[in-house]
Amino acid sequence: MFQGASAITLDAKGRMSIPAKHRDALSIQCEGRLTLTKHPDGCLLMYPRQVWEAKRDQIAAWPMAARGWQRILLGNASDVEMDSAGRILIAPELRDAVGLGREVVLSGMLTHFEIWDPVKRTENEQATIDVGMPDTLSDFSF
């Protein structure tokens, strides 16, 4: 399971080094084969390939009323592989689509990761806090 956040600097070619704490697990779990796609919240999603394939099949089965969401998630999916240095290339189209610059934050979300522009991530978190806890979490205690 993936958790925690890591600040990462993309290189001039748009490559991101996977942090060592996740690199070995991804090498074992999916042989370094990953899939990136856009998330409607303004970040990228990064899935181990077999996890993405199951998710992709679920998304493909959605009804026609969800065709727009299918275009966002499936139409922007890009398969990548870690190189021998533990890096992946984030395509310019995906970087531009979510406004990624040189600095990014990789956030573990248990089964997958989110890749954020640091400013957008902070703004998103603040907006979530400003809205308050949803009723469905009223019984949750920290």
Task: Write out pLDDT tens, residues 30-81.
Answer: 999 999 999 999 999 999 999 999 999 999 999 999 999 999 999 999 999 9
Please tell me the predicted confidence (pLDDT) of residue 142: 82
Whether 140 is covered by a domain: the verdict is no
Residue 27, domain extent: 2-132
Distance, CA of 128 to CA of 61 (rounded, Å) = 30
Domains identified in the chain, total number: 1
pTM for the whole thing?
0.94
Domain at 40, CATH number: 3.40.1550.20
Answer yes or no: is pLDDT of 90 > 90. yes
Residue 139, classified by CB atoms within 10 Å of its CB into exposed (0-12), middle (13-18) or buried (19+), is: exposed
Residue 142 one-letter amino acid = F
User: What's the chain's average pLDDT?
Assistant: 96
Whether 142 is covered by a domain: the verdict is no
Answer yes or no: is pLDDT of 138 > 90. no
- What does 51-100 look like in DSSP terms, one character per residue? HHHHHHHHHHTS-GGGHHHHHHHTTT-EEEE--TTSEEEPPHHHHHHHT-
List, in sequence order, every residue forming a beta bridge with 28; answer none if it has no partner. Answer: none
Whether 141 is covered by a domain: the verdict is no
Residue 45: count other Cβ atoms within 10 Å of its Cβ: 20
Whether 138 is covered by a domain: the verdict is no
CA distances 99 to 41, 46, 107, 133, Å, are: 12, 16, 16, 28
| pLDDT band, residue 140 (cuts 50/70/90) | confident
